[in-house]
C-alpha cells in the first residue's frame, strides 16, 4: 500500500470536483471511511489539496466499482460444533462467496451435518484435518484452501453484523493496493465484554498463523500492522476449566517452540495472573527478560512490546507481594518507553498510594497513643477538632463506617469544623447533595 485508502472527509469534500463517482457512491465512500481507522496509515495522508500531489489518490477513488465487489472466503476450523455452527453460517448469507470448513475430529454429528450442507450448497467446502495440538497449523491449512480476495476467520459460535458494509469496505480498500503487513480487527462482543481481534487479511501468501493456541497472524515481509473496522461479531463465552487447562498446556509448549517471542509468555502470565505465584513468574520470565542473570539494568534489558507488558505484570505482582525493591527495578527498566501508558501510570501512583497508606497507618497508631494521654484542660480549640482529625485518619486508613459515624456526631454537636475539611468533603461524609 503506497497511499492511505482512508481519507479525511474534509479532503474528500474539497476535492469532490475531481472525483468521478456518482453522488450516491461518493456518499457511500464517506460513510465507509468512518468504519475504519489505522494509526499506521496516517503517514500516507495527502499533505495538501493540490491536485497534482493527490493525483494517484484521485485515480484510485475513481476506479472504485461497487458493482464488481471483492470476493470473500469465510474460514472455519471446527470440532463438535453441531449445535452452534448453523447460526454462524446463517449470518454469512450475502457476505461470503465461499465458506471453507475444516473439521478437526468431530464425534457429535457435526461432520455428517456439514457433509449434507456442502452437497446442497456449492459455496461450502468441507475438509478434514488431523488434530495435532496446534490451532495455527489447522488455521493455516484452512486458509490454504481459500480462493477469495479476502479471508475472514470465524469461530463456530460467532455471528457477524453489518456484513453489507464490510463487503463494500473491502471492495473499496482493494482498489488502493495490497496489504501484506495489515491485519484488520473486528469488534468481538462477548457477553458484556467487547475487544478487538485480527479477523481479516488479504489473501496473500505472506500471511500465516503462529502459536499453538491464542494464534495470531504474522507476515513474512515485516511487522504486522493493525487497522480497526467498526463492525461487530457476536460471540459466546464457552470457557471451561478443562479448556483453560488445555490452553495453558499449549501455551507452555509454544513458549518452548518460540523462546524469543515474548507474546506467548505474556499471554500465559496474563491468563494465569490470579493463580500464579510471584516466584513462578520470575522463574518463567528470567531468561526471556534479561541477557545477564546477575544484572537487571537497562543495558541488559531486551525491550519490545510484549516484554514491556510482561514487566507491567511483574510490577503489579511485586506490589501484591510487598516486593517494593523489585517493583522499582522493573519500573526503571521501562520508565523511558512506558511513561505515558495507562498501566504504567496506574502502577506508579498505586505505589505512591501504598506508601501514603503506610504512613497514614503509622501516623494513626501514633495519634491513638497520644490520645490515650490527652489532657483537655486549658485547650484553645475544642476537643472536637482533634476528633475530626482522628475521624479523617480513620477514613484514610480504611475505616469509612467508623469515620462517618464520628463525623455525623461531630457535625451534629457543632456546625464549626477545621480548616482542612472542605465543604465538599463535609457533604460527602454526611451524604448531602
Beta bridge partners of 182: 225
CA dist 32 to 44, 96, 171, 174, Å?
18, 19, 10, 13
Does one domain contain both 129 and 199? yes
Give the model confidence (pLDDT) of 230-278 as tens digits: 999 999 888 899 999 999 999 999 999 998 889 999 999 999 999 999 9
429 falls within a domain:
yes
Does one domain contain both 430 and 383? yes
127 falls within a domain:
yes
Count of residues making up the chain: 433
Confidence at residue 178, expressed as pLDDT on a 0 to 100 scale: 92
**What total number of domains does the chain contain?**
4
Buried b (16+ CB within 10 A) or exposed e, 340-379: eeebbeebeeebeeeeeeeebeeebeebeeeeeeeeeeee
Distance between CA atoms of residues 388 and 417, nearest Å = 8
Residue 300's pLDDT band, with cuts at 50, 70 and 90, is low
- Read off the pTM: 0.83
Buried b (16+ CB within 10 A) or exposed e, 287-308: ebbbeeeeebeeeebeeeeebb
Final residue belonging to a domain, choices 63, 90, 107:
63
CB atoms within 10 A of CB 27: 11
DSSP conformational letter for 187:
E
Give the model confidence (pLDDT) of 168-184 as tens digits: 999 999 999 899 999 99
Does one domain contain both 252 and 327? yes
Cβ pair 79, 104 in contact under 8 A = yes
Average pLDDT over residues 75-102: 94
Does one domain contain both 231 and 245? no
300 falls within a domain:
yes
DSSP assignment of 337-349 equals: HHTTSHHHHHHHH
Confidence at residue 98, expressed as pLDDT on a 0 to 100 scale: 97
CB atoms within 10 A of CB 319: 16
φ, ψ of residue 22 in degrees (nearest 5): -65, 160
366 falls within a domain:
no
59 falls within a domain:
yes
Give the model confidence (pLDDT) of 352-408 as tens digits: 999 999 999 999 999 999 988 888 777 888 888 888 899 889 988 989 889 888 888
311 falls within a domain:
yes
Give the model confidence (pLDDT) of 178-211 as tens digits: 999 999 999 999 988 999 999 999 999 999 999 9
* Structural domain boundaries enclosing 384: 374-433
Final residue belonging to a domain, choices 46, 63, 80:
63
382 falls within a domain:
yes
Amino acid at each position: 500500500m503506497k497511499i492511505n485508502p482512508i481519507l479525511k472527509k474534509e479532503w474528500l469534500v474539497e476535492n469532490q470536483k475531481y472525483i468521478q463517482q456518482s453522488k450516491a457512491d461518493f456518499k457511500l465512500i464517506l460513510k465507509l471511511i468512518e468504519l475504519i481507522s489505522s494509526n499506521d496509515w496516517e503517514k500516507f495522508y495527502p499533505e495538501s489539496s493540490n491536485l497534482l500531489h493527490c493525483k494517484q489518490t484521485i485515480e484510485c477513488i475513481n476506479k472504485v466499482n461497487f458493482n464488481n465487489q471483492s470476493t470473500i472466503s469465510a474460514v472455519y476450523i471446527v470440532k463438535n460444533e453441531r449445535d452452534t455452527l448453523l447460526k454462524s453460517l446463517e449470518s454469512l448469507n450475502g457476505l461470503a462467496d465461499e465458506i471453507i470448513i475444516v473439521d478437526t475430529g468431530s464425534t457429535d454429528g457435526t461432520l455428517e451435518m456439514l457433509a449434507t450442507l456442502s452437497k446442497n450448497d456449492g459455496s461450502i467446502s468441507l475438509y478434514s484435518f488431523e488434530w495435532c495440538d496446534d490451532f495455527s497449523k489447522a488455521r493455516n491449512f484452512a486458509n490454504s484452501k481459500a480462493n477469495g480476495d479476502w479471508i475472514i476467520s470465524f469461530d463456530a459460535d460467532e455471528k457477524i453484523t453489518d456484513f453489507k458494509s464490510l463487503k463494500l469496505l473491502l471492495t473499496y480498500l482493494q482498489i488502493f493496493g495490497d496489504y501484506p503487513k495489515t491485519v484488520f480487527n473486528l469488534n468481538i462482543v462477548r457477553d458484556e465484554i467487547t475487544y478487538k481481534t485480527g479477523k481479516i487479511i488479504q489473501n496473500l501468501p505472506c500471511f500465516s498463523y503462529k502459536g499453538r493456541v491464542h494464534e495470531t497472524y504474522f507476515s513474512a515481509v515485516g511487522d504486522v500492522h493493525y487497522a480497526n473496522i467498526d463492525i461487530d461479531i457476536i460471540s459466546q463465552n464457552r470457557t471451561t476449566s478443562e479448556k483453560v487447562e488445555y490452553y495453558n498446556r499449549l501455551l507452555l509448549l509454544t513458549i518452548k517452540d518460540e523462546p524469543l517471542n515474548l507474546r506467548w509468555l505474556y499471554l500465559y502470565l496474563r491468563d494465569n495472573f490470579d493463580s500464579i505465584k510471584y516466584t513462578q513468574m520470575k522463574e518463567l520470565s528470567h531468561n526471556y527478560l534479561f541477557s545477564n542473570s546477575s544484572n537487571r539494568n537497562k543495558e541488559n534489558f531486551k525491550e519490545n512490546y510484549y516484554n514491556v507488558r510482561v514487566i507491567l505484570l511483574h510490577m503489579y505482582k511485586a506490589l501484591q507481594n510487598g516486593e517494593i525493591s523489585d517493583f522499582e527495578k522493573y519500573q526503571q527498566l521501562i520508565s523511558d518507553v512506558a511513561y505515558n501508558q495507562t498501566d504504567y501510570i496506574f502502577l506508579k501512583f498505586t505505589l505512591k498510594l501504598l506508601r501514603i497508606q503506610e504512613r497514614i497507618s503509622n501516623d494513626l497508631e501514633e495519634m491513638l497513643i497520644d490520645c490515650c494521654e490527652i489532657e483537655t484542660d486549658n485547650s484553645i480549640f475544642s476537643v472536637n477538632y482533634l476528633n475530626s482529625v482522628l475521624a479523617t485518619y480513620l477514613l484514610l486508613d480504611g475505616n469509612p463506617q467508623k469515620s462517618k459515624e464520628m463525623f455525623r456526631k461531630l457535625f451534629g454537636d457543632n456546625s464549626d469544623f477545621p480548616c482542612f475539611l472542605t465543604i465538599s468533603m463535609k457533604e460527602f461524609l454526611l451524604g448531602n447533595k
